[in-house]
Amino acid sequence: MRLEFDERRASTFSLGLVALAAVLVYVNSLGNSFAYDDVWVISDREVLHDLGRFWEIVTVEYWPAVFKSGLYRPLTLLSFAVDWALWNGGAVGFHFFNVVLHMLVSVLVFVFLRHMFPWWGALAGGLVFAIHPVHTEAVANIVGRGELLAALWMLSGVLIYFRAARSGRFTPGVMAAIAALYALAALSKEGGIVLPGLLLATDIPLAARRRLPSFSEYARSRLPLFAVLTGVLALLLAARAAVLGAAVASVPDTIFTVDDSFTTRLFTMSRVWPRYLELILAPLHLSADYGPAVILPVATLTPLGAAGFLSGLALVLMAILVFRRAPEFAMALAWFAVSMAPVSNLIIIAEIVLAERTLYIPSIALPIIVALIVVKARPQMRRLVVAVIAIWVIGFSVVTVRRNPVWYDTNTVFEDLRRRHPESVRALFGVAHQMARLGRWEEAKGWYRRALRLWPYHGPFAVEYAYYLFQHGEYDEADELVSGALQHKPAQSDWNRFLVVIRQVAGDPEGALAAIERARRYYPDHAWYFVQEAEALARLGRIDEALESQETAVRTWGEGSPWPVRVKLAELRAATGDTAGALDALRWAREAPEARPAFADSLERNWSR
């Protein structure tokens, strides 16, 4: 009884130590502001600043619609809206909640490990997870919350399943709880959709130790649960389709803009796999971005890619060799592979080729392996193993604490990126953007052009540069950049409209008509394009055709037609000699909310003479 009590007390103390470590290494992130993607997703997002817009919050894309991100994370957005209301937009509240979430996830990791290992093994693994520097982007950057929430729900579901699987009882309550947690995870971040795969991965030790029934009995015992999860998945996909227009869609990373074939993705990602190992085992070289030219696409096998394939094969062979004696190792590999699948770029094309935040859930594989090594080490070697792990934990705790301030704001993120990866196109564009905002235009142009020489395929960056060129009257280069961006994303609404505006302002009505014609392939009934067509035709002296386009715009817009559109209709009718029709259109224009009566009176006097 005494030993049992001590074991329980040691386990409770260890759990508290893991929780404390998770808080201590991230407490200095509370001073951070909104940084990088936080600005787009949270601080500049008006919909999140009013909880009264609840329904809109849970039915919008994760990113502002202009990005067409293909991401749907309503629970994460809702948590941001709650934080905004509670803290009146103060960043400290957002960061506080992130730290609390990380602490809770770290505790669940310990509890998960404790179900498989003695307390000292679970403590070692739990501490490794709690302080791991690769988690900095997920914890110290507010938008990493999607990872934290998804991990919280997924681990909770795994723990419930773990206990039910070992007792052999999947009650309706158990199935309902797991199904609810599955929905919460997937609505927090898309990666939550792989929870069923993680549940099966936890059965690997049971299979290795022959504690599972026959396959038919095993299938029958799991079938009701996985049928329920399949139903939840169907509902989740339907919700995504309703909000995004498609249940599943690829949102290519910049690196795959030119060639997104499976071969290119496979060989490119094989070069990323060794980086996974480096980030998990020795996270000394962290980065806010791994896009071009930090990582570049390849269509053939490279030495680094070969190393990636060989390292993966070596890990699989090791899992096979130790399967009976240490099946938790195989479970850890399966956990990593399943949780990385959504961002592997091998199934669908993900929004990133590599991001440290996406390793938050997959990195749970490392604590499993650490706990296994501690427990399986021979008694005479255990002190050495524990000492090495302790040094690792202490050393990398310092790395985490020092890394957190990098996410203070957007400037600190880009300063760190420029220092670590001067070849990063995102870093170069970051400098260019800052120079442009400071009014140092010639310097900004130099940085923009340098970035585009390295990687000319990132449409948003090219269009941003085109916007500044347009402001400075440099229309030809702006036209070239936007046209190039549209070659890779021809349906991008804002870019199509911008190209039309550039050509109109540059005095190129024929070019504007060509741009309008191209845009109509994707937006055939958009009233704005008919208005622009009328403007271009009028400049070319084709007044009758211009009037026809303007009338089409008015019919499309209906009673919602703005004042300038109504007035233009009147002017074109007057230009064709239809004075009565022009006066009728002008009277209708006066009814517009933003009408300018004095201007309308002036036009009416001229036409009535």
Q: Walk along the chain (609 residues) in steps of 10 and give the mean pLDDT of each run.
A: 66 95 97 93 93 93 81 96 95 97 98 95 97 97 97 98 89 96 97 96 88 83 94 95 83 75 93 95 93 89 94 92 92 96 89 92 97 92 93 96 96 91 89 88 92 88 93 95 91 92 96 95 92 94 93 90 89 89 88 84 78
Domain end call among 406, 427, 461: 406
* Shared domain check, 447 and 400: no
pLDDT at site 1: 41
Q: Is residue 52 part of a domain?
A: yes
pLDDT at site 489: 85
* Shared domain check, 385 and 245: yes
Domain end call among 377, 406, 435: 406
Comparing CA positions, the residue from 580, 571, 575 lying closest to residue 608 is 580
What is the Cα–Cα distance from 506 to 474, expressed in whole angstroms? Answer: 9
* Shared domain check, 421 and 545: yes
> Do 124 and 386 contact (CB within 8 A), yes or no?
yes
User: How many Å is the maximal CA-CA distance in the chain?
Assistant: 108
* Shared domain check, 467 and 376: no
* Shared domain check, 432 and 383: no
Amino acid symbol at 239 = A
Q: State the DSSP string of 131-150.
A: H-GGGHHHHHSGGGHHHHHH
H helix intervals, 378-492: 379-403, 410-420, 425-437, 441-454, 459-471, 475-488
* Shared domain check, 392 and 427: no
Handedness of CA 569, 572, 574, 580 (dihedral sign): negative
Q: Is residue 485 part of a domain?
A: yes
Q: 3-state class of 192 per DSSP? A: helix
| 165 membership: H or E segment, kind and range | helix 145-167
Handedness of CA 410, 414, 416, 421 (dihedral sign): positive
Q: Is residue 209 part of a domain?
A: yes
Residue-range definition of the domain harbouring residue 237: 2-249+366-406
* Shared domain check, 496 and 394: no
Q: Is residue 489 part of a domain?
A: yes
How many domains, in total, are found in the chain? 2
Q: Is residue 139 part of a domain?
A: yes
Orientation angle between helical segments 91-114 and 119-131, nearest 10 degrees: 150
pTM of the predicted structure, to 2 decimals: 0.88
* Shared domain check, 500 and 389: no
pLDDT at site 609: 65
* Shared domain check, 229 and 134: yes
Task: Give the domain CATH number at 482.
Answer: 1.25.40.10
Q: Is residue 358 part of a domain?
A: no
What is the Cα–Cα distance from 585 to 580, expressed in whole angstroms? Answer: 9
Q: Is residue 385 part of a domain?
A: yes
* DSSP3 helix / strand / coil % (the chain, rounded to 5): 75, 0, 25
* Shared domain check, 478 and 521: yes
Domain end call among 381, 406, 431: 406
* Shared domain check, 514 and 398: no
Q: Is residue 341 part of a domain?
A: no
* Shared domain check, 392 and 454: no
Round to the nearest angstrom and report the end-to-end CA distance of the chain: 108
